[in-house]
Amino acid sequence: QGTCGTPPRSPPSRPPLRLATESRHRCLRRPLRAHLVPLALAHYPALSRLGLSLCPRHESLLTNGHLDTTIIDWIPGMPPISLGDISSFVRTTDADDFGLRFNEDEANNCTMAGALVLNTFDGLEADVLAALRAEYPRIFTVGPLGNLLLNAAADDVAGLSLWKQDTECLAWLDAQEMGAVVYVNFGSLTVLTPQQLAEFAWGLAATGRPFLWVIRENLVVPGDGGGDALLPTGFAAATEGRRCVATWCPQDRVLRHRAVGCFVTHSGWNSTCEGVAAGVPMVCWPVFADQYTNCKYACEAWGVGVRLDAEVRREQVAGHVELAMESEEMRRAAARWKAQAEAAARRGGSSYENLQSMVEVINSFSSKA
């Protein structure tokens, strides 16, 4: 048990919900990407009152193990979780930190919404969703969104990415053996140091496996461009013939490709959902925000991931990739979640029906406007 605040014996009380269904614009105040966001937001005020959200009053508490030993075991629907696995926005020495206050405001805003729209599916997070539904007036679970798009009848449905995608990597994947490729992508916001990039690079080289690595232009700071130009000297020669580097790619299609065997990820929620939906084991390296919580669930609750240390070491990268590629237990768990995700998104499934219900609610307010 940590030393910064003592969790209450029962969950702290929250302000009463104020339904806002009389207004079309406030019925669906804003879509939230995942249950982990509103659940964490719902308890920001309580964490703050207990001193937990402002716990690192001294910088040493960020590195002396305090984050790992302070356990929060009173959030409804969630197993005991360390402060280090809660969103990084609580790790501040500044009581007026923008990120902290923004998220606390969002917690209060959620109580004024008539509904929450969540990119998840009922089977994936049953306990958490039950806790949320006890406090929020209406919840629509409509995920994984990629599965719903796949089931759409229209041929011109756009994907989820807002970035220009390099589809040439798909042809490269077509030439690889089934389940042989390591796919690496740290999302659109994560930034690496040159040393971290080098450790990941040499870790991938040490596996001897073919890999597809997305290296966007601003992945490394300071850096100059993206792709192969950022890789360490000698790396290209060491991985000749088994390397494909892209600046961005259609991730949902890549993850569903028969050649992909594991996913090295930053554990952002969209990436986590896509990995679960594709049934691909994950090597997780969370960096900020809700990624730590997503990683904990992927590795411990769902059994589909293995976590890298914050300090990147090439030996651990290689070892964890091997574990994700070879673990039959992890692969079976990933296959089970993939099947559940597909069932939720097809006609008659929970997410499919929730999407229809959400559209009906929106249309009902439109007709009254």
**Domain coordinates in residue numbering, the chain:** 163-341
Count of other CB atoms within 10 angstroms of residue 224: 8
Average pLDDT over residues 48-75: 67
Average pLDDT over residues 245-253: 93
- pLDDT number for residue 7: 33
* More confident site: 187 or 1: 187
* More confident site: 271 or 77: 271
Helix (H) or strand (E) holding 206: helix 194-207
Q: Residues, the chain, total? A: 369
- Tell me which fold the domain 163-341 belongs to: Rossmann fold (3.40.50)
Average pLDDT over residues 246-255: 94
Q: Give the tens place of pLDDT for each residue, 125-149.
A: 999 999 888 888 789 999 999 999 8
Residues facing 81 on adjacent strands: 72
- Assign 159 a pLDDT band (cuts: 50, 70, 90): low
Torsion angle (degrees, nearest 10) of CA 26, 361, 132, 266? -80
Taking Cα atoms as reference points, which of 313, 264, 307, 291 lies closest to residue 91?
291
Taking Cα atoms as reference points, which of 185, 246, 193, 191 lies closest to residue 219?
191
pLDDT at 222 over 50: yes
pLDDT at 23 over 60: no
Q: Which of 145-154, 202-211, 348-357 bottoms out in mean pLDDT, i.e. has the lowest?
A: 145-154
- pLDDT number for residue 336: 98
Q: Both tokens of residue 56?
A: 């690192």
- pLDDT number for residue 32: 37
What does the H/E/C string look like for 114-164? CCEEECCCCCCCHHHHHHHHCCCCCEEECCCHHHHHHCCCCCCCCCCCCCC
pLDDT at 321 over 80: yes
- Assign 244 a pLDDT band (cuts: 50, 70, 90): very high
**Mean pLDDT estimate for the chain:** 81
Q: Give the tens place of pLDDT for each residue, 79-116.
A: 898 888 888 877 776 777 787 778 778 777 777 888 88
pLDDT at 22 over 60: no
Average pLDDT over residues 355-368: 84
- pLDDT number for residue 21: 26
- pLDDT number for residue 85: 87
pLDDT at 306 over 90: yes
- Assign 13 a pLDDT band (cuts: 50, 70, 90): very low
Tokens 């976590």: give the residue.
307
- pLDDT number for residue 223: 59
